[in-house]
Structure 1
Amino acid sequence: MDKIAVVILNWNGAKLLEKFLPSVIQYSAEATIYVADNASTDNSIAFVREHFPTIKIIKNSGNHGFAKGYNEALKQVNAEIYALVNSDVEVTANWLQPIIATFDAEKQTSIIQPKILDFKNKEYFEYAGAAGGFIDKFGFPYCRGRIFDTLEKDNGQYDDYAEIFWASGACFFIRSEIYNELKGFDESFFAHQEEIDLCWRAINDGHRIKYNSQSVVYHVGGATLQQANPKKTYLNFRNSLLMLVKNLPKKGLFFIIFARMVLDGIAAVRFLTQGKFKHSAAVLHAHFSFYCVSLVYLRKRKDFQMKQYYSVRSIVFLYYIKNLTLFKEIFNINQNFKN
């Protein structure tokens, strides 16, 4: 068994692999590197074989998205630690050593995220994860360094080691034993928020999730589904509701789901006023899809759920009504999330 395997999920990303694989190879001497291909129709596989022959290739049978794509690929990876890395991520020197050291020293820590900065503007945190993620009472995700669309400049304010609620799927380290115990990502999510769901399930099982700023990567973001893509809107709204049904404590479950759906409705109206008609329709589509499968997801619930899973009651209220746009304005920067 390898100590650590870097697994890069790819779909029609030959250009991204050409740009970003060199940094992974240069700075990952400790790891076995895999490209897990989701049945690409471009020349991805041929390109990797020709230019990076030391990289192992896993061929999935179809475009299974992020969740099933990794679930299928990781069946063929034998390593203690999985490093799941997007194809649009540039890694840096010493990005693996601090992660491995943390796993070796802390047996209860099962998932770790590095510092994620914006490849296009390297002085700023990147949207998908920044310096570690949290959710509010209604399941809205936000990060240290990113509240909704507000990105913070990296001034060293998160050069720390902190306990977080969720780690970004853009660069996601997890013990293989725990990944398999939790049965990996929920494949019905396809893409978006499956990593939050997996982290929540891990915490419910007594595991801890950490952010380690000594490991730094740069993420392009939006390479699979652009931020303006209505399908991304659909998946985010639908998957968030499904995640809440699976993981919320029983007490208050239906009230929170109802309140969240009202807030989603307000978001749909806001899309309309902005002329984003396809995005408004995507929210409605997400709700109808949720209605169709909600009973199935109620059966996926476990007996134990965290009593307090959120760090603030409503990030929507704090951001849009109170105009608090920075993480440090929301709660003490040195305060770690407590179970």
Structure 2
Amino acid sequence: MKLAVVILNWNGILLLEKFLPSVVQYSPEATIYVADNASTDDSISYIKVFFPSIKIVKNDSNLGFASGYNEALKHIDAEIYALVNSDIEVTENWLQPILKTFENEPKTAIIQPKILDYKRKEYFEYAGAAGGFIDQYGYPYCRGRIFDTLEKDTRQYEDNCEIFWASGACFFIRSSVYKTLHGFDDDFFAHQEEIDLCWRAFNKGYKIKYNSGSVVYHVGGATLQQGHPMKTYLNFRNSLLMLTKNLPKEKLYTILLGRMILDGIAGIQFLTQGKFKHFWAILKAHGAFYTLFSITYKKRSNFQNAKYYNTKSIVYFYFIKKISVFNDLFGIK
């Protein structure tokens, strides 16, 4: 299958120097592209000198994750897109298990590998771990990561199972499906756009899978650190936009109300912790959501699958029941 590995870059020369060698070394099956969001550092000249085989697609401005990929992929011809963060270290034979699944399973549209922490390689990494899910209120969590609790990799997730969302840090998708779904939502800019895309794929009857045979290591937070107020703003705003687009109509307003109440509780918690910038980020996120609501509502498709979640409230299980390991949610030993 014709595979394109596409790395989105913005002023990331230090990351390219560190991680491009592994991608080039272990990706003989793929054509490698760097999609550049109008970098002002020496990223492009570095690639041209040290990795002349890599193809470069230049965007005219910093379009963020969603629009950056949408624009760049218009110029890339492939059957499979592998969208890979610039802070990912890949491993030997990371592509073969993914390609085999695509070849053998026509209904599988999106796949993610096992994502481990580059800094603590025996642990799962926050952004994806062993595959993503959401609860009834749209809170994302993973096999291997619930909120800020990361599990050690003891080979407890050595399977190729169906999941609800795949991590944007290392995201494989059939180009035909990407085009059918019109790619990422430009209004998201960054954060949770991959969950929204997976949800739309799920509503169309496609499968999203995790493949443990492929392993990558992710730094995480290299572009925008986990504790940054901008990340808080984007996560809270985009989650509400995603719910508006994809929830079943009969549940839309009750779930949105419940989620906004929970957001308010989170805001109060930020206040009590003295994190005033994060409290303000939630207020701004809700204000932006109100502004975008009517536009977002018009993006709803004709069908929304009611069976989108496998846990009613991950907030309840994590903060009240003190369950922080994915398999413990279902009594799996």
The TM tier, using the shorter chain, reads over 0.9
1:182 maps to 181
Answer with 317-326 or 295-304: which moved more: 295-304
1:290-329 correspondence runs (5 A): 290-329=289-328
| SS of match in other structure, 2:258 | helix
Task: Give the deviation of 1:228 after TM superposition.
Answer: 1.3
Task: Give the deviation of 1:131 after TM superposition.
Answer: 0.1
Task: Give the deviation of 1:108 after TM superposition.
Answer: 0.2
2:72 maps to 73
Task: Give the deviation of 1:332 after TM superposition.
Answer: 4.9
1:337 maps to none
| SS of match in other structure, 2:161 | strand
Per-residue CA deviation, residues 3-45 of structure 1 (Å, 9 max, x unaligned), is 1000000000000000000000000000000000000111100
Mapped partners of 1:151, 1:263: distance in 2: 23
Amino acid at match of 2:204: D
Amino acid at match of 2:270: F
2:155 maps to 156
Per-residue CA deviation, residues 130-149 of structure 1 (Å, 9 max, x unaligned), is 00000000000000000000
Mapped partners of 1:109, 1:289: distance in 2: 34
Amino acid at match of 2:41: D
Task: Give the deviation of 1:308 after TM superposition.
Answer: 1.4
Per-residue CA deviation, residues 104-128 of structure 1 (Å, 9 max, x unaligned), is 0000000000000000000000000
Task: Give the deviation of 1:264 after TM superposition.
Answer: 0.2
Mapped partners of 2:109, 2:316: distance in 1: 32
1:36 maps to 35
1:52 maps to 51
Identity level (%): 69
Amino acid at match of 1:100: L
Amino acid at match of 2:114: K
| SS of match in other structure, 1:124 | coil
Which structure 2 residue ranges, 5 or more long, are not aligned? none
Aligned length: 333
1:87 maps to 86
Mapped partners of 2:319, 2:331: distance in 1: 20
1:200-215 correspondence runs (5 A): 200-215=199-214
1:71-150 correspondence runs (5 A): 71-150=70-149
Amino acid at match of 1:67: A
2:15 maps to 16
Which structure 1 residue ranges, 5 or more long, are not aligned? 335-339
Mapped partners of 1:108, 1:177: distance in 2: 12
Amino acid at match of 1:59: K
1:139-288 correspondence runs (5 A): 139-288=138-287
Amino acid at match of 2:196: D
| SS of match in other structure, 1:123 | coil
TM-score w.r.t. length of structure 1: 0.97
Mapped partners of 1:121, 1:29: distance in 2: 27
Q: Would the alpha carbon gap of residues 74 and 202 (structure 1) be closer, same or farther in structure 2, given more than 3 Å must change?
A: same
Mapped partners of 2:322, 2:240: distance in 1: 25
Q: List structure 1 segments (4+ residues) > 6 angstroms apart after TM superposition.
A: none
| SS of match in other structure, 1:179 | helix
| SS of match in other structure, 1:214 | strand
Task: Give the deviation of 1:333 after TM superposition.
Answer: 4.7
| SS of match in other structure, 1:122 | coil
Mapped partners of 2:40, 2:187: distance in 1: 23
Amino acid at match of 1:172: F
Task: Give the deviation of 1:251 after TM superposition.
Answer: 1.0
State the Cα RMSD in Å: 0.9
Mapped partners of 2:252, 2:330: distance in 1: 25
| SS of match in other structure, 2:2 | strand
Amino acid at match of 1:90: E
Task: Give the deviation of 1:295 after TM superposition.
Answer: 1.2
Per-residue CA deviation, residues 285-307 of structure 1 (Å, 9 max, x unaligned), is 00000011111111111120001
Mapped partners of 1:59, 1:214: distance in 2: 33
Per-residue CA deviation, residues 169-192 of structure 1 (Å, 9 max, x unaligned), is 000000000000000000110000
Mapped partners of 2:308, 2:38: distance in 1: 37
Mapped partners of 2:115, 2:147: distance in 1: 16
Mapped partners of 1:307, 1:226: distance in 2: 34
